[in-house]
Amino acid sequence: MKIALLPGDGIGPEIMAEAVKVLDALDLKLETETAPVGGAAYEAQGHPLPESTLKLAKQADAILFGAVGDWKYDKLERALRPEQAILGLRKHLGLFANFRPAICYPQLTAASSLKPELVAGLDILIIRELTGDIYFGQPRGRRVAVDGHFPGTEEAFDTMRYSKPEIERIAHVAFQTARKRNKRVTSVDKANVLETFQFWKDVVTEVHAQYPDVELDHMYVDNAAMQLVKAPKKFDVVVTGNMFGDILSDAAAMLTGSIGMLPSASLDSNNKGLYEPSHGSAPDIAGQGTANPLATILSAAMMLRYSLQQPQAADRIESAVQQVLGSGLRTPDIWSEGTRKVGTREMGDAVVAALTTKTITKS
Ligand code: NAD
């Protein structure tokens, strides 16, 4: 099993080092190779996604990604900005299904912006279609309007579109994933207003006929936003398009307290995937040794589960993280009165120690 490690910028290398420590502690036969990406790759090779990095990502069975970006690259032309590396990887690897779990650990309910009883035990999964919708639809651009409310003035436009196979494949992913969880899928749309999302709803309903054991309901995106902050535990798997998923998954992230806790996965049709924390490169805290490495460590667990078929190893990491939180260790982003503040490295070491303790107890 070969893993491409792409640490990137800002806190990327710091949190990646901790995830690698955890993977090493598992005693699995994992081969890893590191390559530059983002601003680091631009500095070294003049491009945020160099050919050699893309080649490694294509060859590997899975990719573990840190984060990219820094304000200092904001003036570069768009194609050379660090964030383009993620879009490039998604496109070249056909990563169309984005998994964003929102899990609220019982030990962290106080860090959530909602009342503890609303989020305690929360475990939902948002599956966002990642390569279509208004973000990629053509045509798009700026022009002088020939009609509309103000003909003859400047306007901008984008195109929302989904093809049937694009909706079918993400619907299959959602139903198959729900089978491994609580067998409930909520498909989020805006069918009351948008033609694209009436089509989305029809196609999801058609695919559902192949999964009679999974419950399906449909919800408009405005209601979904409301329900996410009113009664988030009602959901199991939420499947939606690129733009709605972008917005809802960030809202769901905040239910859990800190973005520093949230892993994510982006998968292709063969379950090969890119795994990364949901947060960015956090330039404001880079180099201080205070970043929370748990989102990256939990991303490594997702990688073991979804791409490398090592569910037991994934379970071990997730329970080690629970154990560490239970022991009261907290990086500053999740710290609260009565817990012990630790840095990035100490948190990674504690997860490794928890893994090792478990092994000793079992044998
Ligand atoms: P960010 O997620 O990097 O940071 C937002 C806030 O959360 C900051 O205060 C930061 O300190 C904090 N934070 C983030 N991760 C943390 C962690 N692991 N531990 C503790 N605190 C953490 O978002 P931003 O500030 O909007 O963006 C910074 C840079 O990251 C930008 O260049 C942006 O384009 C890039 N970005 C990259 C990705 C990615 O690589 N996938 C995603 C989002 C943003």
Residue 212: half-sphere exposure toward Cβ, Cα within 13 Å: 0
3-state secondary structure of 341: strand
Per-residue pLDDT at 245 exceeds 80:
yes
| pLDDT, position 152 | 96
| 328: confidence class by pLDDT, cuts 50, 70, 90 | very high
Average pLDDT over residues 304-328: 94
Q: 250 catalytic, yes or no? A: yes
pLDDT value at position 359? 47
Which of 21, 61, 135, 158 is an active site residue?
135
User: Does residue 160 or residue 337 have the better pLDDT?
Assistant: 160
Q: What is the pLDDT of residue 358?
A: 52
The mean pLDDT of 190-218, rounded to a whole number, is: 98
Percentage of residues of the chain with pLDDT beyond 70:
98
Q: Are 132 and 349 in contact (CB under 8 A)?
A: no
Q: What is the pLDDT of residue 109?
A: 86
Confidence of residue 258 (pLDDT cuts 50, 70, 90): confident
pLDDT digits (tens, 9 = 90+) for 56-67: 999 999 999 999
Closest by CA position to 35, among listed 67, 13, 59, 5 = 5
In the residue annotation, 9 being an active-site residue is answered as no
Average predicted confidence (pLDDT) for the chain:
94
Domain 1-96+268-363: top CATH class: alpha beta
pLDDT at position 256, please? 83
Candidates 73, 279, 335, 344: which one to mutate for ligand 1, based on the most atoms within 8 Å of Cβ?
Answer: 279
CA 255-226-222 angle, to 5 degrees, is 125
Annotated active-site residue 268? The verdict is no
CATH architecture of the domain formed by 102-123+130-262: 3-Layer(aba) Sandwich (3.40)
Specify the pairing of strand 273-277 against strand 263-267: antiparallel
User: Taking residues 228-242, what's their average pLDDT?
Assistant: 96
* Mean pLDDT (whole number) for 170-178: 96
- pLDDT value for 362: 38
In angstroms, rounded to a whole number, what is the distance separating the alpha carbons of residues 187 and 197? 10
Q: Looking at mean pLDDT, say which of 87-91, 226-230, 333-337 comes out highest.
A: 226-230
pLDDT, residue 360, reads 43
**170-182: average pLDDT:** 95
Given the DSSP bridges, would you call strands 97-103 and 123-129 parallel, antiparallel or unpaired?
antiparallel
Q: Is the peptide bond before 139 cis (omega within 30 degrees of 0)?
A: yes
State the pLDDT at residue 209. 98
Is the pLDDT at 41 greater than 80, yes or no? yes
Q: What percent of the chain has pLDDT over 90?
A: 84
pLDDT in tens, 71-123: 999 999 989 999 999 989 998 999 999 999 999 888 888 878 889 899 998 99
Predicted local distance difference test score (pLDDT) of residue 259 = 81
> Which of 246, 268, 349, 358 is labelled catalytic?
246
Return the SS3 of 352: helix
Ligand 1 center to 281 CA (angstroms): 5
Nearest CA to ligand 1 atom 10: 282
Neighbours of 23 (CB within 10 A): 23
pLDDT, residue 361, reads 42
Which of the four pLDDT bands, split at 50, 70 and 90, describes residue 363? Answer: very low
pLDDT at 165 over 80: yes
Residue identifier of the C-alpha nearest atom 26 of ligand 1: 280
Domain with CATH 3.40.718.10 in the chain: 1-96+268-363, 102-123+130-262
- Residue written as tokens 């990674």? 348
